[in-house]
């Protein structure tokens, strides 16, 4: 049985549907979802996870969501980043961002830079927030930087260059867990990641649900593209 994954990514889906089922506004679901990040982060770190990356806002979200919902999200991000600076320093956790933050309002960019710098020396674990992010866009930006620097290795310019590869991706709020998708999340880094999907909406995804995902990961057999040695009880097939 495998050990706890070093790097876990979470596609936090279902905030809006969670709110609608309770007769609330969609933005209230995003607040509930943001508050849940703390619970899962500290629990994951306590289990031995080194890096937790959460998919907070995609480039498609910025382009396609209603303006009112985006404004609620931006206010939420700004507020939570102010809180994160104090809380994450207390817990000795560093904060990193993935994505093209220039697509965000300038006051959010400045606060993100401030929290990143303030927590950069923390060494208990890493919370990475994918915001204004797209996996294809990350690769495109990295290739452009590599070309500009006459480098033949674009991976050195990925947002997550110093992160371990993704071991496990959790996607919440999946209506049919037998069919899921990455939604442009860390395409390069997830080459050999295990994917666990659940119908549980993100605001309801608690530590017990996280433990179930970790248990499933430990039970899985990762091959990394290799063909494992045949066992005798397979009858040679």
CATH of the domain at 116: 3.40.1180.10
pLDDT band of 234, cuts 50, 70, 90: very low
| Residue 228 clears pLDDT 60, i.e. is over it | no
Does residue 194 contact residue 215 with C-beta atoms inside 8 Å? no
H/E stretch holding 94: strand 93-98
Catalytic residue among 36, 61, 137, 167: 61
Domain assignment present for 212 = yes
Whether 67 is a known active-site residue: answer no
Catalytic residue among 13, 100, 167, 184: 13
Minimum mean pLDDT range among 33-42, 56-65, 155-164, 216-225: 216-225
- The C-alpha atoms of residue 64 and residue 83 are separated, in whole angstroms, by 28
Angle at 142 between CA 120 and CA 166, to 5 degrees: 60
| Residue 225 clears pLDDT 70, i.e. is over it | no
Domain hosting 106: range is 7-133+162-223
Domain assignment present for 146 = no
Whether 211 is a known active-site residue: answer no
Bridge partners of 127, per DSSP, are 52, 95
| Residue 66 clears pLDDT 70, i.e. is over it | no
Domain assignment present for 234 = no
What predicted TM-score, i.e. pTM, was given to this entire model? 0.89
Mean pLDDT of the chain: 90
Domain assignment present for 233 = no
- The C-alpha atoms of residue 147 and residue 136 are separated, in whole angstroms, by 17
pLDDT band of 231, cuts 50, 70, 90: very low
Length of the chain: 237
Domain assignment present for 195 = yes
Number of domains in the chain: 1
Angle at 83 between CA 171 and CA 211, to 5 degrees: 30
Domain assignment present for 211 = yes
| Residue 55 clears pLDDT 70, i.e. is over it | yes
pLDDT band of 224, cuts 50, 70, 90: low
| DSSP code for 132 | E
Does residue 37 contact residue 54 with C-beta atoms inside 8 Å? yes
Sign of the C-alpha dihedral computed for residues 154, 157, 159 and 163 taken in this order? positive
């Amino acid at each position: 049985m495998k050990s706890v994954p070093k790097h876990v990514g979470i596609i936090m889906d279902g905030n809006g549907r969670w709110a609608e089922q309770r007769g609330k506004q969609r933005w209230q679901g995003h607040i509930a979802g943001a508050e849940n990040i703390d619970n899962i982060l500290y629990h994951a770190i306590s289990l031995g996870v080194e890096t937790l990356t959460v998919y907070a806002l995609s480039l498609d979200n910025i382009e396609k969501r209603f303006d009112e919902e985006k404004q609620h999200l931006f206010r939420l991000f700004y507020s939570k980043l102010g809180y994160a600076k104090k809380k994450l320093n207390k817990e000795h956790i560093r904060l990193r961002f993935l994505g093209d933050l220039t697509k965000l309002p300038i006051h959010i960019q400045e606060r993100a830079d401030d929290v990143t710098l303030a927590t950069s020396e923390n060494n208990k674990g890493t919370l990475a927030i994918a915001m204004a992010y797209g996996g294809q866009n990350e690769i495109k930006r990295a290739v452009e930087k590599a070309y500009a620097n006459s480098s033949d290795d674009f991976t050195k310019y990925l947002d997550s260059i110093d992160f371990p590869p993704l071991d496990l991706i959790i996607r919440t709020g999946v209506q049919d867990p037998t069919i899921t998708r990455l939604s442009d999340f860390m395409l390069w880094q997830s080459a050999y990641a295990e994917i666990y999907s659940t119908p549980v909406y993100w605001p309801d995804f608690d530590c017990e649900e996280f433990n179930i995902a970790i248990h499933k990961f430990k039970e899985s057999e990762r091959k990394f593209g290799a063909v494992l040695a045949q066992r005798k009880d397979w009858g040679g097939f």
